[in-house]
A and B are shown apart, each in its own frame.
Chain A
Amino acid sequence: MEFFLKGFVNAARLIASLDLEVYLIVWTSLKVSLVATLLASLLGVPLGTLIALKRFRVKSLLLIVLNTMMAFPTVVIGLLFYGLLSRRGPLGDLDLLYTPAGMALGLFVLAFPTVVNLTLAAIQGLDPRLIVTCKLLGATPVQQTWKILTEARFAITAAIVVAFGRVISEVGIAMMIGGNIRGFTRTMTTAIALETSKGEFELGIALGTVLLTVAFGVNGMLFLLQRGKL
């Protein structure tokens, strides 16, 4: 217990002293996670909506593939992108390995199936009378889709929050594609892993606390949004 207590006290001191390294690590984490989640949302919400509303021949197969993608171990994605982005890989010329952009790309691949699947589930879970009502009131297909999205807004927001939570808390992709370079690609999770292995528990606990605070903040915002207070 003393170990944790000491860790928390030192962590509070680090956060309060506006330690530049801590804030740089937090900023890098937030930056790559937000970019990845934003990209995944921009592409994943429309795709999830389309899959939910359309009937097509390979729909079942696509659903299985998307579900499998959700269970992808992050180190496998890291490995895949390491191979693609390394100097000898097919995307080596882009020079994205060990950069925040490369990390965002890998994290996007992690977030994308989550956003697609949860959007799809949100829309399929809507009351079937919604589409009938839209048609009856004279909505065009575009107007219907927009109404469907607004009716599913809370569940879709939750999908995006879940994806954000997944990318900000993962370590495999950030470590393998980012390389944990100090001041450049070091994120909260890679730093926690590194500092703990070096015996620097205070920094690890400080970053862990910030990570939890971010998660709490995001979920708090979602809660307020669902209550209609934002």
Chain B
Amino acid sequence: MTPAYTLRNVSFAYSGEPALRVHDLRISPGEIVGLVGPNGSGKTTLMHLLAFLEQPQRGEVKFFGDNVHGGDLLTVRRKVALLLQNPYLFHESVLANVMWGLRLRRAPSDKARAAALEALDMVGLDGFAHRYARSLSGGESQRVALARALVLDPAVLLLDEPFNHMDRESARKTEEIVVQMSRERGTTVVLTTHAIDKVHSLARTVIYLWQGRVVPTGPENLFKGNLRAHGSLFDTGRILLELENGSTQGDFVAIDPLKLEILVTAPDPGDPNVYSGKVVGLSDENGRVRVVVDAGERFTALLGPSDSVLPQLGLGTEVRLRVRSHAITVL
């Protein structure tokens, strides 16, 4: 199936300051994708590239298999809807706001009106049509903007921090809409949020961004440092990691928390990447146990609930941590 988006060797900088570098990224059509990362990780820049608001300075962005050039921007923009984190509503009625996108597309007035009322109903704002848009609360404005995006029936719906100003009920409604759009209309949905639990419950695929790069794990276990010994070692300044195949360039390593091993017995002598440390955090995370170990660097491991080592762990337990070389990605 042709991906909705294919990004290859894409880079984007603001005034020479690199904001995003994506080597290879594909987003499947009809999928709900979560985009997770701390502030300044490049989420909004990536959303702007996906909405064709900005064009990459290097690399290519394919939209449903087609390369997008300057002349095609209007056509592709009309297939994508981006709900901004803090949306702008026009100085007119709610209905006029929702209808505007359809009017641009020369939709007949009665049909545009009916579709706009339906979209308002969908987001739970029936009865708001004739209210002045600028007098609404933050959550209501967010829902008007969502209706304004939905009414265009886009192939791709991009939501930048959609739950920010919403109360619990509005957030639940928005989640329902996202799932409905994906299931019933085959809309590709990409959403960014700080609410990691929401991403995991909604999205089939989660993309993690860190300092403008797509990383295989969340913000845990990302360490800055330098390659040593012709790329066979990575030095974080606190620990040395032995790499499996070596690497020629990279100044970060990411370690998958699912592939970390915690040992309470002594490992085989000569095992690489084994570090002594102390358990400093234990918590539940979506049915798994998150164990934080301070072993020079602060590592996070996600263990299954039936992992045999769990009963022996408590805060302050002395443990050994084994990092398998294949679990390390150099970035």
Contacts and interface: CB of A to CB of B under 8 A. Distances in A.
Interface of A: 127, 129-130, 132-133, 135-140, 143, 147, 151
Interface in B62-116: 74, 77-78, 81-82, 84, 86-88, 90-91, 100-101, 104-105
B84 A133 contact: yes
B55 to A, nearest CB: 12
Given A133-B84, A147-B90, A138 B53 contact: no
Given A132-B84, A136-B77, A136-B81, A143 B51 contact: no
A138 B74 contact: yes
Contact of A129 (B74, B81, B84, B152): B84
B88 A132 contact: yes
Contacts, number: 42
- Which of B51, B101, B148, B152 counts the most A-chain CB atoms under 10 A from its CB? B101
Nearest to A137: B101
Chain B interface secondary structure, helix, strand, loop or mixed? loop
- Which of A135, A137, A147 counts the most B-chain CB atoms under 10 A from its CB? A137
Contacts of B101: 137-138
A137 B53 contact: no
- Which of B51, B87, B88, B90 counts the most A-chain CB atoms under 10 A from its CB? B88
B104 A143 contact: yes
Nearest to B90: A151
Contacts of B53: 132, 135-136
B256 to A, nearest CB: 36
A21 to B, nearest CB: 45
A137 B100 contact: yes
Interface string B132-153: 0000000000000000100010
A133 B87 contact: yes
- Which of B81, B104, B148 counts the most A-chain CB atoms under 10 A from its CB? B104
Nearest to A153: B91
Given A129-B88, A133-B90, 6 more contacts: A129-B87, A133-B84, A133-B87, A136-B51, A136-B77, A147-B100
A51 B91 CA distance: 23
Contacts of A140: 74, 104
Contacts of B91: 151
A204 B111 CA distance: 61
B152 to A, nearest CB: 7
A137 B104 CA distance: 8
Contact of B78 (A132, A138, A147): A138
- Which of A129, A133, A136, A151 counts the most B-chain CB atoms under 10 A from its CB? A136
